[in-house]
Amino acid sequence: MYIDLCHQTATYFWNSLGADELVLKNISAYATHIPSPYFNLVHLHTPLESITQEIPQIEDFFKDTPWNIEVREDLESKILTRNLNAMGFYAHETVVAMMIEPQTYPNSLDIKDTNNALEEWITPLTPAFESTAEISAAYMNAHKKALAKNSKFYHFTAYEQNIPVASITISMHNDLARIDDVGVDPAFQKKGYGTEIVKYALSYAKTLGAKYCFLEASTAGAPMYEKLGFRPLFKNIIYSRQKH
């Protein structure tokens, strides 16, 4: 049940960002056309040995936009990995889908609603994710468009002496919340901003009536969320088109 709910929040998030969607028999894909493979994804739904037959449709769907392939760990196989490698895709990282029942936490930080100040919201995210000005601008504009069409997105930023140091996004789909864009400027890391802004987001999600909250964390970031009570649901292996 929770895995399906997690997928529902992901679908709402990507659709709200204006992503085009491709649905085939065994896979689905989302294309935001932001020039980064992390915002353009192919998902496998069933065990496959290869996606060679689907490649022409996928390539036509993404056109010149870079894209990644996301394979749930239990759907991965040696044959699939070998065939993906032959296509030039190599395992780049593992992300952990997690969930929690939101609760209320005290807050001592200067955290502001930045739905109307997305330029400040994106400021710490650019260095946090080692992004570029072009990619950050395109991602910020996608969020602006989501807000313009009344998508249930909530952006928050933590400040230190009026400097934006950490940001986060909540999206709401019915009574389900999803957290994205948890980033702390590297100059302000190791000070607890990440943990505190997630607590703030969970408290806010609870006021919105969220029954469950989902997110996807890197394997390095997962322990922080587990300390807050998040429970792992499944892992996704991310395949990128260049060898790492």
Q: Are residues 118 and 206 in the same domain?
A: yes
**Final residue in a domain of this structure, among 48, 73, 95:** 95
Residue 222, domain member (yes or no): no
Are both 121 and 206 inside the same structural domain? yes
Percent of the chain clearing pLDDT 90 (strictly above): 79
Last residue of a domain, one of 95, 119, 142: 95
Q: CB of 12 within 8 A of CB of 177?
A: no
Same domain, 47 and 143: no
* pLDDT per 10-residue tile (average), the chain, 244 residues: 91 92 90 93 86 89 92 90 90 95 94 98 97 96 96 97 97 97 95 95 97 95 95 95 63
241 occurs within a structural domain: no
Cα–Cα dist 71/98, whole Å: 16
Cα 240 from Cα 244, distance rounded (Å):
9
What token pair was written down for 234? Answer: 């499944």
Among 156, 159, 158, which Cα is nearest to 205's? 156
Structural domain for 76, as ranges? 2-95
Q: Is 36 within a domain? A: yes
Task: Give strand pairing partners of 42.
Answer: 29, 69
- Whether 231 is in a domain gets the answer no
CA distance 196 to 194: 6
CA angle in degrees (0–180, nearest 5) for 221-225-230: 135
What pLDDT score does 244 carry? 46
Claim to verify: residue 80 and residue 120 sit in the same structural domain: no
Residues 202, 159: Cα–Cα separation, whole Å? 18
The whole-number pLDDT of residue 197 equals: 97
> Can you give the pLDDT at residue 155?
98
Shared domain check, 36 and 60 = yes
Per-residue pLDDT at 50: 79
Paired strand residues for 29: 22, 42
Same domain, 49 and 147: no
Q: What are phi and psi of 94, to 5 degrees?
A: -120, 135
182 and 200 in a single domain? The answer is: yes
Instruction: Count how many domains the chain has.
Output: 2
Residues 108 and 204 in one domain: yes
- Whether residues 71 and 32 fall in one domain: yes
Q: Which two tokens stand for residue 91?
A: 């395992």
